[in-house]
């Protein structure tokens, strides 16, 4: 497969990886969550060639092409593998489907014991993602990093718990939280299975060429501090420890979206190398987190879609507040499908990305 990307001499570590090591860069590295996706016409054309979304994710040639498309078009500092957080439930034996207009729909939760038996083979069951990573790494120049990822245990559990019966997989996160209160032992057991499965999945990704690994906790919002510690922080701590036990040395990124009020607590308590901040994170909170470890975020995807002078002002505010330390410029959540490409170019030009 030809990448369409120019190769360059080895430049040592990519600027993105240097930030993860705690080094400030004169121009912050930049990448966008969901940078490979529906806002790109070339992605939409490619997606139309696959019968369904899961088949697309598990086709290494197509997934690698989707990963590389934004890297050809924009001077992003890092690529993130094209996959989905709900591949893990599928590897554990739960039915997963993506229905037009409905989003993900999951079948009933398999017995915890049956999922536990499958957990150590999660990486092998999803080896297609590893092949995608290997293809992308071979196509990228040395100064552009490659990120692997997985959904965090609680976020994945919110889709898995009582799947088809209570329609949690359709986004009713309050139902999942209610489940965590009413059946804590079952929920905690599911989280433990997900920690083990996700650790093996991330190890497979690192072995395949991922140079950094991101833990996406998309649904950390709305949790009391004690529930946050139980459902988010402790599983993250266990996951990080298990990944290291498996021999992975790649830096880890934690993204507890919706938890700006306790972001400092998370940064101190969880041994990730970088904390990703969401749209609602105040600049001052970001400064305090940055005093603990490098940060990433937190441009509003809605503002990126809107564009104009307000977008320039916010980019300047983020740079003024955080670019004095180790910082990766990014969004506070994923890029929206109807975002104009010109607005992405506007931000990259404002940052000075080359």
Phi-psi region of 53 (alpha: psi -120 to 50; beta: other; left: phi over 0): alpha
The answer on whether 159 is annotated among ligand-binding residues is: yes
Helix ranges restricted to H, 148-183? 153-160, 163-166, 173-182
Query: For this structure, is 159 an active site residue?
Result: yes
Query: For this structure, is 305 an active site residue?
Result: no
Phi-psi region of 12 (alpha: psi -120 to 50; beta: other; left: phi over 0): left
Query: For this structure, is 47 an active site residue?
Result: yes
CA 16 to chain centre: 15
Active-site residue, selected from the candidate residues 43, 59, 84, 201: 84
The answer on whether 324 is annotated among ligand-binding residues is: no
Query: For this structure, is 90 an active site residue?
Result: no
155 Cβ contact list (under 8 Å, min separation 6) = 85, 216, 217, 218, 219, 220
Active-site residue, selected from the candidate residues 24, 47, 166, 305: 47
The answer on whether 177 is annotated among ligand-binding residues is: no
Residue 347 vs residues 126, 147, 281, 351: alpha-carbon distances, Å: 35, 21, 19, 6
What H or E segment, with its residue span, contains residue 133? helix 127-139
Whether a cis peptide bond, with omega within 30° of 0, leads into 298 is: yes
Residue 198 vs residues 44, 231, 256, 292, 344: alpha-carbon distances, Å: 29, 15, 16, 26, 32
The answer on whether 36 is annotated among ligand-binding residues is: yes
For 41, other C-beta atoms within 10 Å of its C-beta total 10
The answer on whether 200 is annotated among ligand-binding residues is: no
Query: For this structure, is 44 an active site residue?
Result: no
Pairwise CA distance, residues 109 & 194, whole Å: 13
User: Phi/psi at 101 (nearest 5 deg)?
Assistant: 80, -5
The answer on whether 84 is annotated among ligand-binding residues is: yes
Query: Do the Cβ atoms of 131 and 125 come closer than 8 Å?
Result: no
The answer on whether 333 is annotated among ligand-binding residues is: yes
For 257, other C-beta atoms within 10 Å of its C-beta total 24
The answer on whether 35 is annotated among ligand-binding residues is: yes
Active-site residue, selected from the candidate residues 59, 135, 144, 159: 159
Active-site residue, selected from the candidate residues 34, 90, 135, 137: 34
The answer on whether 218 is annotated among ligand-binding residues is: yes
Instruction: Report, as residue numbers or ranges, the catalytic residues.
Output: 34, 38, 47, 84, 159
The annotated binding site is made up of: 34-38, 84, 159, 218, 333
The annotated binding site for substrate is made up of: 34-38, 84, 159, 218, 333
């Amino acid at each position: 497969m030809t990448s369409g990307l120019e190769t360059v001499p080895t430049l040592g570590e990519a600027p993105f990886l240097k930030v993860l090591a705690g080094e400030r860069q004169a121009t912050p590295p930049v990448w966008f969550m969901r940078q490979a996706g529906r806002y790109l016409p070339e992605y939409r054309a490619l997606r139309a060639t696959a019968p369904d979304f899961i088949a697309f994710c598990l086709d290494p040639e197509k997934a690698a092409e989707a990963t590389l498309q934004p890297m050809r078009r924009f001077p992003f500092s890092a690529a993130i593998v094209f996959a989905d957080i709900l591949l893990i439930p599928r590897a554990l034996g739960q039915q997963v489907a993506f229905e037009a207009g409905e989003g993900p729909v999951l079948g009933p939760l398999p017995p915890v014991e049956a999922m536990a038996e499958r957990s150590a083979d999660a990486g092998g069951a999803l080896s297609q993602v590893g092949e995608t990573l290997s293809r992308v790494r071979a196509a990228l120049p040395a100064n552009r990093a490659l990120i692997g990822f997985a959904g965090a245990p609680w976020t994945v559990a919110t889709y898995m718990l009582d799947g088809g019966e209570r329609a949690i997989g359709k986004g009713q996160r309050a139902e999942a939280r209610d489940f965590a209160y009413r059946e804590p032992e079952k929920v905690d057991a599911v989280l433990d299975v997900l920690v083990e499965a996700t650790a093996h999945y991330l190890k497979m990704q690192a072995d395949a060429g991922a140079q950094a690994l991101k833990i996406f906790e998309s649904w950390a919002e709305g949790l009391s501090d004690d529930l946050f510690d139980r459902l988010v922080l402790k599983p993250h701590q266990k996951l990080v420890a298990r990944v290291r036990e498996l021999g992975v040395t790649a830096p880890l990124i934690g993204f507890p979206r919706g938890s700006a009020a306790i972001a400092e607590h998370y940064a101190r308590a969880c041994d990730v190398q970088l904390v990703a901040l969401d749209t609602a994170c105040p600049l001052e909170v970001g400064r305090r987190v940055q005093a603990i470890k490098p940060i990433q975020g937190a441009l509003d995807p809605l503002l990126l879609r809107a564009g104009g002078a307000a977008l320039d002002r916010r980019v300047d505010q983020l740079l003024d507040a955080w670019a004095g330390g180790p910082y990766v410029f990014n969004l506070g959540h994923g890029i929206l499908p109807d975002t104009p490409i010109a607005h992405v170019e506007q931000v990259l030009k404002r940052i000075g990305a080359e």
